[in-house]
A and B are shown apart, each in its own frame.
Chain A
């Protein structure tokens, strides 16, 4: 399998604070990569660097062989990286339908994801199409954030803490949705603090501590490795 997204030794700063200190990951086509780590270890910064929100000062990011290290976020999105961000960040004053509409690109006509397909994946969104996104429940907003990312017809979907603050039932729904996307061959990067949820879903995991990858393995191996679990994830 060929590499879809590769992050090569990036160093990212927020002002003076040195967050990512030489971090490298890669995602293959059709693969689901889990990124685990405790709070404040740089998981979301990694996503912000990939999306061009906070470009790295050193290092390189390639997507489908093209250098996107300093590209504009909107160009990165158009190249095929879909973002479902931490905290969901749906557009609160827009309706559910409008949230999906603004993410639709013009060249997308006839592609895999359109309103109909998103509503099939998440029937709740179809029922609430006219409602303001700000008035949805947390779980519905999460579905909307996933649906909005899918509307850009990505070849790589980045999900940052999709289980955050949701009831177990809803987490189950989101997990099922990820499984069905994975079955279609969509590459998924799943950033999670909820390790139990992530290891059920992904093909491979990277553990990040202090801005570096400290462990990389299959989910089964990670679960068996008590040292990594205790030192880097804080679960015994």
Chain B
């Protein structure tokens, strides 16, 4: 076991807090979705990773790389294919329409490879190498992030509306569907953006370190803490102080009664799922400039998010704050003090809390 100087402890605490900030962004969404809708969302961290990739993609589009054009071609190709399918179906039976499209595809693929030496299917699935962007500014970064967040939230709404809503309260189906989407998002990202490790660029002036009392403290870490505090405050005010928040809480207290006084609980559930996905995505883009964005990051961080909500208590905002700080500190100090045991240092307390107080420190049960 190594000993820590006072300076080490200060720096480690700073790192722990900033790590806790990312964990909070991820885990608060997980906790919200579970606490309110009783859905164990294993795809949650996939939103985290997916949003990182999306932000990367839109960075590249906005800051002028080549990746926009293939995406437009892809969109146009899929749209044309859709209308071709609809058009064909007006005149012939679906079986014949499918056959016609297949034949067209074979002819086009052959023609394209032989005559123009490119692959026809790449119109639908263009492979674009993503290069990290060097130049970056705040306005562009914000735009890219907002677009990425919106897409992630829409994905969440889509999954809730067309899949999870049909399953009701069947936990096994929920777990299977969400883990299925976790793999789809993961492998879809791998296919589209490849296996390289990317780093989202930290915009000026966050890409510097502040020097305080001789300690070098990266400013981006402070930025992560600020974002987490702002999000926590917004969540608290939104849930506890607004009409929409009251409607959400009413739908949790007694969903049937809530419908009986005119609350459309379907819309409420979809909104909650979208907010959960949005929180994960926020963690993903903020953390993407810190952890990096790479395949496997999602399943690497998901256990930490579960540790946070188990320690803090599911469905409790205060619990998510406390849980993130506990996990952030244990992880950072554990790694520094006994690196070979850092996983044990984190998950042993979790197991103990599960055994003693299964609802977590702040859990409502």
Contact = CB atoms under 8 A, between A and B. Distances in A.
Q: Is the interface of B mostly helix, strand, loop or mixed?
A: helix
A85 B261 CA distance: 10
A89 B257 contact: yes
Given A73-B256, A101-B243, A91 B249 contact: yes
Interface in B181-227: none
A6 B285 CA distance: 56
A152 B261 contact: yes
A135 to B, nearest CB: 14
B253 A93 contact: yes
Contacts of B265: 74
A25 interface: no
Interface residues of A, number: 26
Contact of B258 (A52, A102, A105, A149): A102
Given A74-B263, A91-B249, A148-B261, A53 B243 contact: no
B264 interface: yes
A213 interface: no
Interface residues of B, number: 18
A74 B262 contact: yes
Given A89-B254, A93-B249, A152 B243 contact: no
B269 to A, nearest CB: 13
Interface in A10-60: 51-53
B247 A51 contact: no
A151 B261 CA distance: 9
A105 B262 contact: yes
A103 B262 contact: yes
B75 interface: no
B147 interface: no
A77 B259 CA distance: 8
Nearest to B248: A102
A137 B254 CA distance: 19
B261 A94 contact: no
Contacts of B243: 101-102
B365 interface: no
B250 interface: yes
B246 interface: yes
A92 B265 CA distance: 18
A77 B262 contact: yes
A77 B253 contact: no
Interface of B: 243, 246-247, 249-250, 252-254, 256-265
